[in-house]
Amino acid sequence: MSAGSAYRNLRKHLGRVIFPALVLMLATGSSAQVGAYRPVDHNRLLKGEESSDWLTYGRTYFEQRFSPLRQINQFTIGTLGLAWWVQFDTSRGQEATPLVADGVIYTTTAWSKVYAFDARTGRQLWTFDPKVSGRTALAACCDVVNRGAALWNDRIFVGALDGRLIALDRRTGKPVWSVQTTDPKLPYTITGAPRVVKGKVIIGNGGSEYGVRGYVSAYDAQTGKQAWRFYLTPNPDGKPDGAASDEVFARTANATWFGDVWKTSGGGGTAWDAITYDPDSNNLLIGTGNGAPWNHHIRSQGKGDNLFLSSIVALKPETGKYVWHYQTTPGDTWDYTATQPFIIADLFIKDAKRHVVMQAPKNGFFYVLDAGTGELLSADKLAPWVDWAHGVDLGNGRPVERIGVRWGAGGNSRQNPGPPGAHSWKSMAFNPIEGLVYIPALNVTGNFAAPSHPEEYRHIPGTQNRGVGVQGVAPGKQAAPGALQRARAAATGDPLPSVLSGELIAWDPVARRARWTVKYSDPEWGMGGVLATAGSLVFQSVKHDLKAYDAASGREVWSYPLGASAIAAPISYALDGVQHVALMVGNGGGNGQGYSTRTDTPVPGRLLVFKLGGKQIAPDHIRTNRMALDVSRAEASTGDALAGDVFYNRYCRFCHGQNFIYPDLRRSPVLSSRTRFKRVVFDGLLESRGMTSFAAFLNEQEVEDIRAYLLRGASR
């Protein structure tokens, strides 16, 4: 018996002995029908309304991810158990925040599929598959994930990976309209949840590293007609776009870009996650991404702030008209996006009530700004390990960079945070009673190094374009075999991030410091987003467990074995007076994230729903341990393993990981023959599963070079 199942049995036993009456009472309410559908409108989405539902990505417009429910608390949590669960048809990453309205729970999965279940019983009401082409995976930096849907009136909206925005009937899941929000010829993707404000569906996109220009668009929820678009980097033609962004680009933003490289690399700045509406100021807040390529020296001759990269941009939701912006990382050259989630709240700062927006972007600082005006109120390091800048000058709002961190023209910089960021898309939560923001943070370093010939940079389709050189090689040391070729041939790569710890930081945004921190050693990416509740609890998954902590002290009060890693955030809702906690389980992400060991093989995603007295048991996943490939019986390769190293690192590892681990390619039977390998990599045999043909980027000999490289790995 594993430690996990022993714990589960113990907990089950305790539940039977101590709380039989409670269990009986709850069981009687579970046969109620799905409730009447009430329109999800502006009033329902406002703060404080509908405490029992979860109506938008961060629960309400303010996106605090704070549930006012308190039935599950430190005194009752001992009986929290599984009410129901479902398993999905994909083992790709699961990042969605489910929505709950009128007795129905809606969720999205990898490949942008949408599901509706009876929130009491788990009975599936409908499902919608947008049938995204497996080929789209080529443009997805970080797996074929989707973070959620949006509700408005009687409709539900999802952004599909291939750039479509689709409206469905909430009752049936039948499509009402669908619009292509991106140029399908360009490597755009959508992974983020739409938001709906005043009858307009707001959607961004991703793809900076692959060479696109970021923007955010609004569509009429009723008709699907585009209402406005706001670009986040300049028009490479130098002309107006006929978009809402034209005025501010002509006035200020165009002048913050230099040279020509950004014109062919897209510029970046994609708004792939945070979009939040502040009803008090009627501002729509957009979080924007990093530059393309990363290297500021290459992208913009090392000059200029490059608006609106790595910024918080406030727009009017009706028109897309610019209101204000704050750039967290001027002249970004480290992949320090500011797409991370926003929380809007009222804080008492120096005895005055301030209506603020809070963000912990990748760069490791925690920002508090006036949500109406954008005035910077504070900016502080999340932890002492953030070392790329000394601090933020509150006078001019700019980071005080450490000397040497601008690596782009030559040399290198090992710094914290590395490109995964001190905090990325994983949701933080705010408990207004405690006055604490709970942040899933990563103490992670990265080594940024300039390519040996920055002037030879060219944009390469089909891979990530970063303008980064030899990775992980300290100056003066011998480069590993393949590394030099990699640098010369590709001028792309990844600054070997090194995760030192994962930290759940309880941040006091008024005192401007952490009140408590839970440290996880070596969490890799198996750490999820956060839920806070009025039951004085903080829920977060780490490795294979869902944990609950005391909101005031960080003391662990509950742990439940999930059977697999979860990276999404839990939600909470109530039906018939019964509080539930729900969580999408499933790992995934870029670079084989989360699969640091061979034992953590991809398993199908699940939705787990808990309630007090829940007695269901989700069976363990069947994990087949693949036999090691007998290299001596494989067809010997005619390829060049050194060249294969270059190609693997250019085209394969953004999904399969640095160590071939997603899944473990060294154990793949496909490796055993040249023909089999070619059928997958060149002919696209597994395209429907997202492993598309690379014939547009590699010839047959180069594909065989990759096989030679993998066989070399398999024989070690």
Q: Which is nearer to Ca ion, 290 or 593 (CB)?
A: 290
Which residues, numbered 231-250, are part of the site for Ca ion (CB under 5 A)?
A: none
**Which two three-digit tokens encode residue 281?**
């100021």
143 binds Ca ion (CB under 5 A): no
Instruction: Please identify, among the stretches 103-111, 328-336, 422-430, 504-512, the one whose residues bind Ca ion according to the rule CB under 5 A.
Output: 328-336
With CA atoms as reference, report the closest residue to 622 among 593, 607, 608, 601.
601
Compute how many other C-beta atoms are within 10 angstroms of the C-beta atom of residue 277.
24
- Residue 542: CB minimum distance to Ca ion, A: 24
Instruction: Please identify, among the stretches 286-294, 297-305, 483-491, 675-683, the one whose residues bind Ca ion according to the rule CB under 5 A.
Output: 286-294
With CA atoms as reference, report the closest residue to 176 among 152, 194, 195, 202.
152
335 binds Ca ion (CB under 5 A): yes
Pairing of strands 66-67, 527-533: parallel
Query: How many residues of this chain bind Ca ion (CB under 5 A)?
Result: 2
Instruction: Please identify, among the stretches 196-204, 327-335, 449-457, 662-670, the one whose residues bind Ca ion according to the rule CB under 5 A.
Output: 327-335
Give the contact letters, 448-487, x = binds to Ca ion (CB under 5 A), - = no: ----------------------------------------
Q: Which is nearer to Ca ion, 66 or 272 (CB)?
A: 272
Pairing of strands 215-220, 200-203: antiparallel
Residue 41's Cα: distance from chain center in Å? 27
| Contact status, residue 287 vs residue 361, Cβ threshold 8 Å | yes
- Residue 206: CB minimum distance to Ca ion, A: 8
332 binds Ca ion (CB under 5 A): no
- Residue 230: CB minimum distance to Ca ion, A: 20
Helix, strand, coil percent values for the chain (each to nearest 5)? 20, 30, 50
**Which two three-digit tokens encode residue 254?**
């165009």
Instruction: Please identify, among the stretches 17-25, 282-290, 528-536, 596-604, the one whose residues bind Ca ion according to the rule CB under 5 A.
Output: 282-290
Catalytic annotation present for 332: no
- Residue 337: CB minimum distance to Ca ion, A: 6
Pairing of strands 150-152, 155-159: antiparallel
Selecting among 102, 332, 335, 600, the annotated active-site residue is 335
Q: Which is nearer to Ca ion, 322 or 448 (CB)?
A: 448
Q: Which is nearer to Ca ion, 256 or 337 (CB)?
A: 337
Helical H segments across 581-714, by residue range: 641-647, 653-656, 674-681, 700-714
- Residue 497: CB minimum distance to Ca ion, A: 12
Single out the residue of 60, 67, 290, 637 in contact with Ca ion (rule: CB under 5 A). Answer: 290
Residues ≥6 apart with Cβ < 8 Å to 257: 233, 234, 267, 300, 304, 306, 307
Instruction: Please identify, among the stretches 168-176, 284-292, 420-428, 620-628, the one whose residues bind Ca ion according to the rule CB under 5 A.
Output: 284-292
Q: Which is nearer to Ca ion, 422 or 634 (CB)?
A: 422
- Residue 632: CB minimum distance to Ca ion, A: 42
AA identity, residue 426: K
| Contact status, residue 528 vs residue 426, Cβ threshold 8 Å | yes
**Which two three-digit tokens encode residue 92?**
């790709």
Q: Give the C-alpha separation, 615 to 12, whole Å.
A: 7
- For 625, counting Cβ atoms within 10 Å of its Cβ (0-12 exposed, 13-18 middle, 19+ buried), the class is exposed
Q: Which is nearer to Ca ion, 330 or 644 (CB)?
A: 330
Compute how many other C-beta atoms are within 10 angstroms of the C-beta atom of residue 89.
12
| Contact status, residue 581 vs residue 548, Cβ threshold 8 Å | no
Q: Which is nearer to Ca ion, 262 or 573 (CB)?
A: 262
- Residue 419: CB minimum distance to Ca ion, A: 7
Residues ≥6 apart with Cβ < 8 Å to 242: none
Residues tagged active-site: 335
Residues contributing to the site for Ca ion (CB under 5 A) = 290, 335
